[in-house]
Chain A
Amino acid sequence: MTTTTAVRPTPPRPAPSGKRPTGSRAKAWATRAPLLPALVFLIVVTQLPFVATLVISFFDWNSLKPDQRHFTGFANYGSVFTDPALRDSVLTTVLLTATVVIVSVVLGLAFALLLDRTFFGRGFVRTLLITPFLIVPVSAALLWKHALYNPEYGLFNGALTWFGNLFGIDSMVQPEWTSEMPLMAVAAALVWQWTPFMMLILLAGLQSRPAEMMEAARLDGAGAWQMFRFLTLPHLRRYLELGVLLGSVYIVQNFDAVFTITAGGLGTANLPYTVYETFYRAHEYGLASAVGVVVVIGTVIIATFALRVVSSLFREEASRA
């Protein structure tokens, strides 16, 4: 995926030969010059492939029929918006992303509030809570598919059986999690991975609350709920926005969970999975590129908001310092 770079370098003016450029401009370039190779490198490795994708998206190109490759203009984009399967995958993506983001923000907030208190072993608990976020996504998906959801040897049904045995029920209900609620199954695995991320952001927000303000509120006789409602939540607004936006950008692109847990079946194919299928199964390079471009445009819109929020955060921090 491409990122929008907020850096807009002014085009270099060739200095008149034999004379050192004067004053501030020279100084500005002296600071910029060491960054230039990195910027050029960044443009080459992120923007050029995207341009290539853009070009390919205007071709009807099936890799198994190379002789029939031809320019089709916007036909691929037409297919993206009219093909029912692709439309479904747009809906699935929105639904999956929204569910995962909202649930993990709520859970993350709950965990962050709990971790904000001081208690014995807090560092250890925090480490434990962060762990799911550090697991490789595809391993996490495999773990959920086999170790937890599997109806025959999975932990969920095993726990149900054990629970049933406690009450003397011999044949406890054994739901087939992934078949009965496929999208929820994928979402649950993602929520488990992304809750720690939200928790970390919100915890940082909680710990930046001005202590004297909270103290003053308590002296004025505010209850816990009132303090949360009128002080904590407004203060956390920016952090919540940041969590939601960053989370959305990442989860829109999620491929591992869908690929591993359901193989895109049972209506769980999201956009990245559809791109993969179009490219590798259908060998439709043009169409796959068009879907990719549409996803990029969607993500860029979200990312723009995210960048704005981040920059406003920085401004606030700066004004407070």
Chain B
Amino acid sequence: MRHHPRRRHGPRRLPRAAAVATALALLATGCAGAGGTSFGGGDALNVLMVNNPQMVELQKLTKEHFTKETGITVHFTVLPENDVRDKISQDYSNQAGQYDIATISNFELPFFAENGWLRPLDQYVEADPDFDQQDILPPLRASLTHKDGKLYAQPFYGESSFLMYRKDVFEKEGLTMPAKPTWKEVAELAAKTDGSQRGMKGICLRGLPGWGEVIAPLTTVVNTMGGTWFTEDWQPQLTAPEFKKATKFYVDLVRKHGQLGAPQSGYAECLNNMTQGKTAMWYDATAGAGSLEAKGSPVKGRIGYVPAPVERTDSSGWLYTWAWGMQNASKKADDAWKFISWASSKEYEELVGATSGWSNVPAGKRASTYAHPDYRKEAGAFADVTQQAISEADPNNPGTQPRPTAGIQFVGVPEFTDLGTKVAQEISAAIAGRQSVDTALATSQKLAEKVAEEYR
């Protein structure tokens, strides 16, 4: 834990009985009590957020700018992703109003909205023309709008996935990357670039177990090859021919021409491999480009970017966003909106650009960002491909058949974190060569069946 806001207004001397009672109450509610929040006066906002670098930056800038302009104090609680999800669901499910705002992703938005934990933001958006809601990229707007047609969150930044490749290696080998590659072409290119430099592999693909690790890229491959986790009426399809074909393709590709130690490599390891010149291609999050093109990166300026490879669909990039969701029970809704609209505004992006450089801007949410000359100067290499990837993502129709829930690289049900992780462990074992893809998928199908039963 790095961010412990100091306790400033804590109770000084509680009577012992009260203290014990509080302790018991905390135990009874299973409250972790981590995070060291400080609850200020009546007009302070309490924000619970994930500890990603962009959020930490926001925390620094809030006091100097937002509080100065509006007079609203903001108390932040910053936690790692797993803990933050947990604490948010605890607090929002009780509707205790302890936190006014929290970072939620497009994964949990549907069931949070379904449970009535979030306050719809439409009226605030309408009353605030300066916010320019139309500037927010349409797929993000769509993924933060629940099926009741109301908008429940505002994005802080968004990402999709695309294919990154070493232009210099391709040139040396006399290869050209198609403007819109198919997976078949990518597999051939991976075979040709494999070993073009000492210790260089053809492609890096995640293999680390986790619903947010190997499952994300794999599911986009499944989508574009015509597979799906579930049919519209909740029939699991993990042993269907399309799902099998896609999984076999992914596993074979990473076993033949992928990085060494694939079952233990996730986003961070692949980023490392790409930076160190250990791989010619990398299919992963658009966020990776910012690190590859950062100052001091040995491959800066040598990377080309093309959309996520496809087979049977027009696009296959995923969609993920961290967004501000307001708790329905919040008593400071107006102030909360002021904060949300500031943090997700064009002005805030300008502010970050001016203070710490345009590469650190929480991008991927507004069309205007990609037209901004300063941003284009910094991120020109990947700006357009990123915007295109996010704009083409369609969470409501990511594959070749209708789905029961919205979501591209995940299934939008709470059980998916567990199901995805368990399936990921089976796939990871197949990548390690410890079991066949068929065995892995047969086991996974049974797990998926259990989840599906609850929804049929």
Any chain B CB within 8 A of the CB of A262? yes
Inter-chain contacts of A56 with B (CB < 8 A): 30
Which of B82, B260, B429, B431 is in CB contact (< 8 Å) with A267?
B429
Which of B24, B90, B199, B415 is in CB contact (< 8 Å) with A152?
B199
| B415 and A282 contacting across the interface, CB-CB below 8 Å | yes
Which of A64, A151, A153 is in CB contact (< 8 Å) with B89?
A64
Inter-chain contacts of A48 with B (CB < 8 A): 23-24, 27
Contact string, B71-110, partner A, CB cutoff 8 A, digits 1/0? 0000000000011011001100110000000000000100
- Take A66-B94, A85-B422, A266-B432 as given contacts and tell me if A280 and B264 are in contact as well, using a CB distance cutoff of 8 Å: no
Any chain B CB within 8 A of the CB of A283? yes
Which of A179, A264, A281 is in CB contact (< 8 Å) with B262?
A179
Inter-chain contacts of B278 with A (CB < 8 A): 152
Any chain B CB within 8 A of the CB of A63? yes
Pick the most buried of A67, A283, A284, A285: most chain B CB atoms within 10 A of its CB.
Answer: A283
| B89 and A63 contacting across the interface, CB-CB below 8 Å | yes
Instruction: Give the size range of B's interface with the partner.
Output: 35 or more
CB of B165, distance to nearest CB on chain A (Å): 19
Inter-chain contacts of A65 with B (CB < 8 A): 414
Any chain A CB within 8 A of the CB of B315? no
- Segment of B167-175, B180-188, B205-213, B285-293 engaged in the interface with chain A: B205-213
| A179 and B90 contacting across the interface, CB-CB below 8 Å | no
Q: How far is the CA of A52 from the CA of B26 in the complex (A)?
A: 10
Any chain A CB within 8 A of the CB of B417? yes
Inter-chain contacts of B83 with A (CB < 8 A): 280
Of all chain A residues, the one with the shortest Cβ separation from B24 is A48
| A282 and B418 contacting across the interface, CB-CB below 8 Å | yes
Contact string, A66-108, partner B, CB cutoff 8 A, digits 1/0? 1100000000000000000100000000000000000000000
| B259 and A266 contacting across the interface, CB-CB below 8 Å | no
Q: How far is the CA of A149 from the CA of B261 in the complex (A)?
A: 9
CB of A247, distance to nearest CB on chain B (Å): 26
- Take A44-B23, A150-B261, A265-B424 as given contacts and tell me if A283 and B433 are in contact as well, using a CB distance cutoff of 8 Å: no
| A264 and B425 contacting across the interface, CB-CB below 8 Å | yes
- Take A49-B27, A281-B418 as given contacts and tell me if A265 and B209 are in contact as well, using a CB distance cutoff of 8 Å: yes
| B210 and A266 contacting across the interface, CB-CB below 8 Å | no
Q: Which residues of B contact A (CB under 8 A)?
A: 23-24, 27-28, 30, 82-83, 85-86, 89-90, 93-94, 108, 111, 115, 199, 208-211, 213, 259-264, 273, 276, 278, 414-415, 417-418, 421-422, 424-425, 428-429, 431-434
Please name the 8 residue pairs, one residue from A and one from B, whose CB atoms are nearest each other, closest first.
A282-B418, A151-B260, A64-B414, A265-B209, A66-B93, A179-B432, A265-B428, A52-B27
